[in-house]
A and B are shown apart, each in its own frame.
Chain A
Amino acid sequence: MSQAAQRTLKFEIFRYNPEDPASKPHMQAFELQETPFMSLFIALNKLREEQDPTLQFDFVCRSAVCGSCGMMVNGRPALACKTLTSQLERTIRLHPLPAFRLVGDLAVDTGSWFRGMTERVQGWIEAKAPFDPDAVEERMDDEVARAIYERERCIECGCCVASCAVANTRPAFVAPAGLNRIARFMMDPRDRRKTGDWFEVFASDEGVFGCLGLMACQDVCPKELPLREVYAYLRRKSLTGILSRRAKPAT
């Protein structure tokens, strides 16, 4: 790897602590010597250790699995752990993700949003029958299993929500992650609910029809989820969903 010229990186980091009434939102500048293979995760930790211990940001896994380090990097949502400084220009501008509650500086509360979204779209399995531990497990088609897995890969980092123009202006919109969640449970054969049950959940102005098809979500998704596929799937399902009946209530 040619990392010949080590650059001095300039960071412009958004600072604001909503808990502190004296705190005013502002951008703070930092400088840092670049090291080989430096990710934003390493850079931010160095800044916190060496320059400003009050800097707030979230990290857990540092390998693009936990989804907690989403932030706006030069105006584009990205995972800080997956972004190498060598991919970026010398000046790096960091903001918290918009559309989420700000915890402080770069840390946002994506958890509450995702919990609220899950409850709202009822993103869980409604079992067809009570679980029987002695029964043989039901088989699933390989294709279906793969399709479900593709939706399941979402790590809930919130990058898609932050990049979505609709989610940014209309808080009630379920956002890309929500539509992805709906599609995941809709295609699950273990779920009791039919398309008719899902219809009113996703076929609304807050659901897939609120989507303008700008596709920023897919462009920024760190896991490169095929979101275009999800929206087309939901739209097409809405055509049959309008005629489909609801499942009989569970007994």
Chain B
Amino acid sequence: MRQPLDVIDAERVACGTPAGPADRAAARRELYWEILSGGSGFLLTVYIWVHVFDVGSLLFGPEGFDRLAEFLEGFYIAQPVVILVTLLFLAHAVAAARKIPARARERRRFNRLARELAGADQRWRAGEGAERPHEDSRLWVWQLRTGMLILVLGSFHVGLMIIDTFTAVWGERHGMEAATTMERVAAGLSWFYLVLLVLLAIHASVGVYRLALKWGVAAGRSRPALKRFARIFGIAFLAAGIFVLAVMAGWLPPPFAFLLGS
């Protein structure tokens, strides 16, 4: 029979931990970190939705996209937003990463516990207090995994957009242009963006769920209800994103192009 790892933890004296010095400044710092990680996550979620809609101007044809881009850049809305979102993106990564267990042994323990809890409920017949299968721990692990991938893929995307917005390296002028964007996506970046969309949908919906849970938003709703909402939210984002991406990659013709007469 396999020897359980738990014995290591069972042997450890958990009660003997000294009380940390109750430090008001440290507590205050922790609160700021918590607000930063949750708040930046929330703002980024709002942003990706806005983003799907502003890129969605492509549904009106390349001209629609160019007009919106020129408007946003002409009034200097796009540039500060790009910088702000980049900073928010990095801040969120730093603040949220503080919760990732650093040691492999801790991660093993996390995973094992999550697996055991989830598995136990399947072996448990319906009974008092035991009918709820545990999936929140698994969701959290996936939130971390998708988050780390988004940091990598998202950084590339953000880098591209910074170059696009502030230089004339690609296209004819400083700023976004439908032609370069579409060419780039059609040439193969579409798959990259598809992956990024899926990752964002998972990460953001789990994140929104957990944020509501932590701060008692919709406290009257059950956790399955919150999860259902998060799932709908994620699927809606994915559907909208894929639709826009399909137009961008040239898989679909822009459906509303006739409105601008092109």
B interface, how many residues as a size bin?
Answer: 35 or more
Taking a contact as CB atoms under 8 Å apart, the answer to whether B125 and A87 are in contact is yes
Min C-beta distance of A227 to chain B, whole Å = 11
Query: Are A25 and B7 CB-contacts (below 8 A) given A222-B129, A242-B31?
Result: yes
**Cβ of B137 under 8 Å from chain A:** yes
For A33-70 the 0/1 string (1 means CB < 8 A from B) is: 00000000000000000000000000000000000000
Residues of A near B14 (CB, < 8 A) are: 99-101, 113, 161, 167, 171
Q: Quick one: which of B121-142 are within 8 Å of A by CB?
A: 121, 123-130, 132, 134, 136-137, 140
Taking a contact as CB atoms under 8 Å apart, the answer to whether A209 and B1 are in contact is no
Residues of A near B24 (CB, < 8 A) are: 199-200
Q: Which residue of B lies closest to A75 (CB)?
A: B116
Q: Which residue of A lies closest to B129 (CB)?
A: A224
Taking a contact as CB atoms under 8 Å apart, the answer to whether B6 and A95 are in contact is yes
> Contacting A89 at CB < 8 Å: which of B16, B27, B125?
B125
Query: Are A96 and B219 CB-contacts (below 8 A) given A76-B116, A115-B15?
Result: no
**Cβ of B210 under 8 Å from chain A:** yes
> Contacting B30 at CB < 8 Å: which of A99, A115, A161, A205?
A205
For A222-251 the 0/1 string (1 means CB < 8 A from B) is: 101000110111011011001000000000
Taking a contact as CB atoms under 8 Å apart, the answer to whether B124 and A214 are in contact is no
Residues of A near B7 (CB, < 8 A) are: 14, 16, 25, 102
Most chain-A Cβ atoms within 10 A of its Cβ — which of B3, B17, B140? B17
**For the complex, what is the distance from the CA of A145 to the CA of B24, rounded to whole Å?**
30
Residues of B near A112 (CB, < 8 A) are: 15-16
Q: Quick one: which of B1-44 are within 8 Å of A by CB?
A: 1-4, 6-7, 9-17, 19-20, 22-24, 26-28, 30-31, 33-34
Taking a contact as CB atoms under 8 Å apart, the answer to whether A219 and B117 are in contact is yes
A-B CB pair tally, cutoff 8 Å: 193
**For the complex, what is the distance from the CA of A58 to the CA of B7, rounded to whole Å?**
18
Min C-beta distance of B231 to chain A, whole Å = 17
Min C-beta distance of A174 to chain B, whole Å = 10
Taking a contact as CB atoms under 8 Å apart, the answer to whether A165 and B4 are in contact is no
Residues of A near B27 (CB, < 8 A) are: 199-200, 203-204, 207
**Binding stretch for chain B, among A1-9, A78-86, A123-131, A179-187:** A78-86
Query: Are A229 and B125 CB-contacts (below 8 A) given A100-B14, A214-B137?
Result: no
Q: A209-B34, A212-B99 are in contact. List 5 more A-B contacts (CB 8 A).
A: A87-B130, A165-B109, A172-B17, A204-B22, A215-B223
Closest 9 CB pairs of A and B: A232-B216, A75-B116, A76-B120, A87-B127, A113-B15, A98-B9, A112-B15, A102-B10, A169-B106
| Interface residue ranges, B against A (CB under 8 Å) | 1-4, 6-7, 9-17, 19-20, 22-24, 26-28, 30-31, 33-34, 99, 101, 106, 109-110, 113-117, 119-121, 123-130, 132, 134, 136-137, 140, 210, 213-216, 219, 223
List 30 contacting pairs A-B, 8 Å CB cutoff, sorted by A: A18-B11, A25-B4, A27-B1, A74-B123, A76-B117, A78-B130, A82-B128, A99-B10, A101-B10, A101-B11, A161-B14, A163-B113, A165-B110, A168-B109, A169-B106, A171-B17, A200-B27, A204-B23, A209-B34, A211-B214, A212-B99, A213-B140, A213-B214, A215-B213, A216-B113, A216-B134, A219-B132, A232-B216, A236-B216, A238-B34
